[in-house]
Amino acid sequence: MERTKHKHLLFISSSLISYFFLLFALFISHQFSVANAQNGTQSTVRAGVLLDLGTSSGKRCKTSISMALEDFYAINGNFSTRIELEFRDSMSEVVSAASAAVDLLKNSQVDAIMGPLTSVQTEFVAYLCNRSQVPLLSFSATSPAISPTHLPFFIRANLNDSSQSVPIAAFIQHFGWREAVPIYEESEFGSGIIPSLVDALQSVDTMIPDRVVIATEASDDHIDNKLYRLMTQQTRVFVVHMLPALASQFFHRVQALGMMSAEYVWIVTDSVGDVLDILDPDVKNVMEGVIGFRTYFALSDEVKSFKTRFKERFRQDNPRSEVADPTIYQLWAYDAVWALAKAVEKAEVTNSSFVIPSSDGTSTDLSTLGVSETGPKLLSAILGTTFNGLAGNFRLVDGQLQLLAFEIVNVVGKGTRNVGFWTPDKGIIREIDSPNGSGNANNLKNILWPGDLVVAPKGWVVPTNGKVLRIAVPAKAGFGVFVNVSESTSEVSGYCIDVFKAVLSKLPYSIQYDFFPLSPSSSYNDMVYQVYLKKYDALVGDVTIRANRTNYADFTMPYTESGVSMIVPLQSDSSQSMWIFLKPLTAQLWLISLAFFIFTGFVVWVIEHRINPEFRGTPWQQFGLIYYFAFSTLVFAHKEKLESNLSRFVVIIWVFVVLILTSSYTASLTSMLTVQQLQPSVTDVSQLQKQGDYVGYQDGSFVKELLLNLGFDPGRLKNLTTADDYTDALAKGSAKGGVAAIFDEIPYLKVFLSQYCGNNYIMVGPTYKTDGFGFVFPRGSPLLQDMSRAVLSVTEGEEMTQIEKKWLGNSDKCTSSSTSVGSSSLGFRSFAGLFIITGSVSGLMLLIYIGIFLYREWERLSTLRDDHETPWDIIVAWFKHYDQFDQRSPTFKEYLRSSMSPEGSQGRLERQMGLEGSNSPGNRSDQSAEMSFEFSQGGITPLSGTDSSDISNRGPAEEIELAGQSRE
């Protein structure tokens, strides 16, 4: 019993002890693991590095990468991850690089790969990594052909080559070079820059007349051949994009062929620019004057300390290699390591595991490549990493490092000299931190160009060996004013030549040239074609800018006014001369004026008839009086004395209207008679076509094409050469073997008109638009831009006026008289206001008079109404009453008084006697006879009853009879 109890206790105690032991062990192990975590050796992340370890740049990058890793963990000692690098040699070869990459992915199962150095190697490795979803962090593959958008697992921690296209184009634009030739090595890397460079140059209007590809393993002869080709061309601006090794060889050849001399511009991209400082002094020697672009990085304290440490470390690692400063590639490699280390910690990458895809029977090396599980996480961590690296702010956008600035350097002596910068926002500037540094062209520091020049080359040369421009000029038979080639001396002169010389004098450089007169038989189209064939370097003359000529050559801006018009003879217009006096007024105005004359005469007669003896008489007399009075106002010759204020008012207004009418008529007639009454014989094109007339054009001119387009019958066109031909043909006329009109460009027509000023030709018809004369250059000629600009500055200047005066004379002096043919007739509209005034005044006065008459004579009129039955009789009676002399008017009384006086009575008797005796008006006026009769009537019988009104209405003969009766 006790034994079992004892056994029991023993068991319990031993269990307790072992329990405590276990606890202790757990505690110890826990403590141990904590210490391990703090020590940071717990999780290792493997990363592969592919480098051309045989090359010096590979060695330099290896040193830089190793230093980066050490520096990083020296600062970030408490990180829970450690990167372990596995270096592989890619042996400067694509296949080795690829197989090294496969080894890293398959056997080492790395979480990330850095490198390789060249774009060519990188491309294949990038595909492999993308397949395995392992981030490939590149710090030196610059070819834009490998793109992070296409391969998401490719990250470029350096600049893309295409980012320097815009700076290079800006630099070329800055110096106004119109053409540039890219020279690049035949590789993925070399051609990668071309698309973006072409775009950038195009956007600044710089042409790429040629491009030269140089094989990577080129012999000197190969390079020489390419250079000879360039030498014969006119472009002198070259953009060289190749790796430093080939570039050294290339520039040695350039120097050997004498192309590192005046007029040449050599620009190297950053692939050479970045390593300019560490290039062999030999190479720099032959590159003097070269412009280099290189990535800008600030020379911070970190960079300075890195430089010193780098050189020290490199000497340790590679005792037998030459030591040089680190370039931007080493800085990028350093920053890439830091970015990777930061990302690894952030992504908490613990243990890498690759998933091998299920085998589908094939078991090639690549098909069994696994897919990393940690890759995507690590990729997004790297893409999100930002920090201040040695090469500037490390920030990736779309898997691509962002550009800060480019530095522009000039190779001078055995070193380089900074001449300016380019930044994305400010363009080309002199100082990177100057606040007011704008993209001003003068902001660059002085550049020493090849051939020890300090003045920027113009970027092209005349390609021919003698460097003398061969300029074709049309040797015309007619219109020598424009271009005249003297037969004896072959001297070329004329308006176009003077303009050309003036334009050349505006160019910033001088140009040697010779004139080559072209045979007069060739048309202008042919001459343009000669330039197209490059037989001549330019064509200078009266060559019009035409759309289909520009298919063959380029034109400068036009320097003359433009357009095609026609000239026709003037003929005097004899048909109108007899009736010209009618022309000043339109027919409508004539008729309306006539109507108003009659109306006004009538109104005055109505108002005056009852009170004014002068407005009385036989109906014929009174009818005549109405007209006579009205028309005599035309010359203000009306003699009749007016008694009523109403009629005076009418006449006053009317005389005013007449005054204006007559003076307008006079003025218009005067102008018609003084202006030459010459009319163009033809006024429009359709008239010519309808009549089937012959028309002329200048020999060799495009005007013929224009006329055919207008629909003229080809058989009806005549080519004419000289201005004398023009006059002859126009003088003969279409019917007699001449022409009815000549079509030509306005400059010729103006010259013609000024020469034959007195001979009555006129330029008529529509102007067909053309573009004026321009100078012709072969397509893409670099001279063109400068010439065009110079043409504009000449045409806008004073010089042009002088040249025009000298050659073309003053053509305006003839045009003034011939253009203003005829003046238009005056219409009713111009005078409508006047007629309304006089019409309404006359009408109103007439109404007032009728009102007064009715009011005064109402009693009498009522009596008359009662005496007659039918309305007709009443109206007739009323009119008869109106016809009588108004006895109440002052004129009547005065007349009465003057008749009562002895003289008056004597005069009356005499008059009556005279009337009796002669039975005709005789010396005395009818009116006085009538008046005397009325007086006697009034004196003898009261003016009442039908008799007296009858009498007053009768003509002189009847009155005489009546007078006799009353005496009986």
Ligand X SMILES: *[C@@H]1O[C@H](CO)[C@@H](O)[C@H](O)[C@H]1NC(C)=O
- Site of interaction with ligand X (CB under 6 A): 35, 38-39, 78-80, 130, 133, 150-152, 525, 528-529, 548-549, 552, 705
* Closest to 266 in 3D by CA, of 245, 238, 292, 246: 238
What's the min distance (Å) between Cβ of 803 and ligand X?
A: 28
Q: Can you tell me whether residue 901 is helix, strand or coil? A: coil
What's the min distance (Å) between Cβ of 523 and ligand X?
A: 8
What's the min distance (Å) between Cβ of 573 and ligand X?
A: 39
* Closest to 606 in 3D by CA, of 946, 932, 853: 853
Give me Rg for the CA atoms of the chain: 56
Q: Which one, 552 or 602, has the nearer CB to ligand X?
A: 552
Q: Which one, 113 or 929, has the nearer CB to ligand X?
A: 113
Which residues have a Cβ under 8 Å from the Cβ of 155 and sit 6 or more positions away? 135, 136, 137, 138, 148, 379, 382, 383, 396, 399
What's the min distance (Å) between Cβ of 141 and ligand X?
A: 16
Q: How open is the CA angle 752-754-757, to the nearest 5 degrees?
A: 100
Distance of CA 737 to the CA centre of its chain: 47
Which residues have a Cβ under 8 Å from the Cβ of 736 and sit 6 or more positions away? none
Residue 717 main-chain phi, psi, to 5 deg: -100, 140
How many Å apart are CA 250 and CA 238, to the nearest integer? 13
Q: Which helix (H) or strand (E) holds 798?
A: helix 798-808
What's the min distance (Å) between Cβ of 119 and ligand X?
A: 16
How many Å apart are CA 854 and CA 877, to the nearest integer? 14
Q: Which one, 552 or 628, has the nearer CB to ligand X?
A: 552
Q: Can you tell me whether residue 552 is helix, strand or coil? A: coil
How many Å apart are CA 199 and CA 203, to the nearest integer? 6
* Closest to 356 in 3D by CA, of 365, 347, 343: 365
- The sign of the CA dihedral 283, 287, 292, 296 is positive
Q: Which one, 39 or 351, has the nearer CB to ligand X?
A: 39
What's the min distance (Å) between Cβ of 751 and ligand X?
A: 25
Distance of CA 216 to the CA centre of its chain: 46
Q: Which one, 348 or 812, has the nearer CB to ligand X?
A: 348
- The identity of residue 731, as a single letter, is A
What's the min distance (Å) between Cβ of 374 and ligand X?
A: 14
Q: Which one, 129 or 218, has the nearer CB to ligand X?
A: 129
Q: Which one, 51 or 545, has the nearer CB to ligand X?
A: 545
How many Å apart are CA 104 and CA 135, to the nearest integer? 13
Residue 563 main-chain phi, psi, to 5 deg: 120, 155
- Find out whether 738 and 720 touch, Cβ atoms under 8 Å: no
Q: Which one, 248 or 556, has the nearer CB to ligand X?
A: 556
What's the min distance (Å) between Cβ of 223 and ligand X?
A: 36
Q: Which one, 179 or 542, has the nearer CB to ligand X?
A: 542
Q: How open is the CA angle 806-808-813, to the nearest 5 degrees?
A: 110
Q: Which one, 776 or 846, has the nearer CB to ligand X?
A: 776
What's the min distance (Å) between Cβ of 456 and ligand X?
A: 37
Q: If you ran DSSP here, which 8-state letter would residue 423 be given? A: E
What's the min distance (Å) between Cβ of 101 and ligand X?
A: 15
Q: Which one, 342 or 549, has the nearer CB to ligand X?
A: 549
- How is residue 692 written in tokens? 């089937």
How many Å apart are CA 705 and CA 104, to the nearest integer? 75
**Parallel, antiparallel or unpaired: strands 695-698 and 717-720:** parallel
What's the min distance (Å) between Cβ of 349 and ligand X?
A: 14
Q: Which one, 38 or 719, has the nearer CB to ligand X?
A: 38
- The identity of residue 275, as a single letter, is V
Q: Which one, 486 or 521, has the nearer CB to ligand X?
A: 521
- Find out whether 89 and 96 touch, Cβ atoms under 8 Å: yes
Residue 567 main-chain phi, psi, to 5 deg: -115, 145
Residue 54 main-chain phi, psi, to 5 deg: -80, -20
> Which residues, in sequence order, are bridge partners of residue 484?
493
What's the min distance (Å) between Cβ of 704 and ligand X?
A: 9
What's the min distance (Å) between Cβ of 798 and ligand X?
A: 35
Q: Which one, 382 or 762, has the nearer CB to ligand X?
A: 382
Q: Which one, 549 or 911, has the nearer CB to ligand X?
A: 549
> Which residues, in sequence order, are bridge partners of residue 567?
742, 763
Q: What is the DSSP string of 502-538?
A: HHHHHSSS---EEEEEEPTTS-HHHHHHHHHTTSSSE
Q: If you ran DSSP here, which 8-state letter would residue 640 be given? A: P
Q: Which one, 133 or 952, has the nearer CB to ligand X?
A: 133
What's the min distance (Å) between Cβ of 105 and ligand X?
A: 14
How many Å apart are CA 267 and CA 172, to the nearest integer? 9
Q: Which one, 153 or 421, has the nearer CB to ligand X?
A: 153
What's the min distance (Å) between Cβ of 152 and ligand X?
A: 5
Which residues have a Cβ under 8 Å from the Cβ of 920 and sit 6 or more positions away? none
Which residues have a Cβ under 8 Å from the Cβ of 838 and sit 6 or more positions away? 596, 600, 653, 654, 656, 657
- Nearest residue by C-beta to ligand X? 39
Residue 443 main-chain phi, psi, to 5 deg: -80, -15
